[in-house]
Amino acid sequence: MSSTFQLDTATSRANPTPTPMKRLTVPAIRKRKEGGVTAEPIVMLTAYTARQAQLLDAHCDVLLVGDSLGQVIYGLPSSVPVTLDMMVAHGAAVVRGSYHSVVIVDMPFGSYEASPQQAFENASRLLKETGCAGVKLEGGEAMAPTVEFLVKRGIPVIGHVGLTPQAVNVLGGYNARGRSDAEAAKIVSDAKALDAAGAFAIVIEGVVEPIAIDVTKAVACPTIGIGASAQCDGQVLVTEDMLGMFERVPRFVRRYEEIADTISAAAERYATDVRSRAFPGVEQTYQPK
């Protein structure tokens, strides 16, 4: 028995609740792919808060505390300004709100690129202060020695190839990658290097479908697509995109709800009640003398 935290929806407080910690594990995710075949695709969504994690947890294998929180939560223009402190705070909240999924936290830009030693210092902080199971970092062959360094020291890693948002200033935008033969070959070699370094899974983002399929066939670990191919070993989306929280979302996103409209309509009804003084009050128990 161990303790996790469940959000009491009546009070909006996170209370420690004794519960068997039946979380999926990193090895269990890695074993989904055997002999190049993944019978049960991996379900991953992003999560940034305890309540969001609680709602998603039962349906996902992996919850990713993505640095996309920069745009989604903080209104930043990209993920580049996201700090390690932000990732720690949101990572800890997601771990508290979940008990089933493997929780992975993105390493933000500037927290791992300088050296394997820097990456270990910051990744170990993420594990210690959030309770997450592992980290995700962007980059291919250049980051393979860092991935190997982390894995050998007990830190599970998900790699990330193709469109790497932290490198948006170098890439010049968020366009699909792998259209040229040279770029396609590099994406495949990047994925192979991360696989050989010990990454237990690799996210393939914004890559033309034939290249995503080539990568999936070329590596032993599972691949998780986002704007890549249905033939990847799993899929991930930014939850707010999937729920329709924003008017404009990437073309590859399938919207399963229009939550923004629901929230706006509810706020409009509330505002109407308040302005017409139709808002219900609390029963008055105090009787003045």
Rounded Cα distance between 120 and 9, Å, is 37
φ, ψ at 169 (rounded to 5°): -70, -30
Q: Which residues of 217-228 are buried (b: 16+ CB within 10 A; e: fewer)?
A: eebebbbbbbbb
Closest CA to 63 of 83, 47, 86: 47
Residue pair 229/212 in contact by the 8 Å Cβ criterion: yes
- Amino acid in the structure at residue 264: S
3-state secondary structure of 7: strand
| Catalytic member of 113, 121, 129, 205 | 205
The answer to whether residue 129 is catalytic is no
Residue pair 41/81 in contact by the 8 Å Cβ criterion: no
The two structure tokens encoding residue 84: 């390690």
Which residues, 6 or more positions from 74, have their beta carbon under 8 angstroms from its beta carbon?
82, 86
Rounded Cα distance between 86 and 143, Å, is 23
Rounded Cα distance between 118 and 110, Å, is 9
Residues catalogued as catalytic: 205
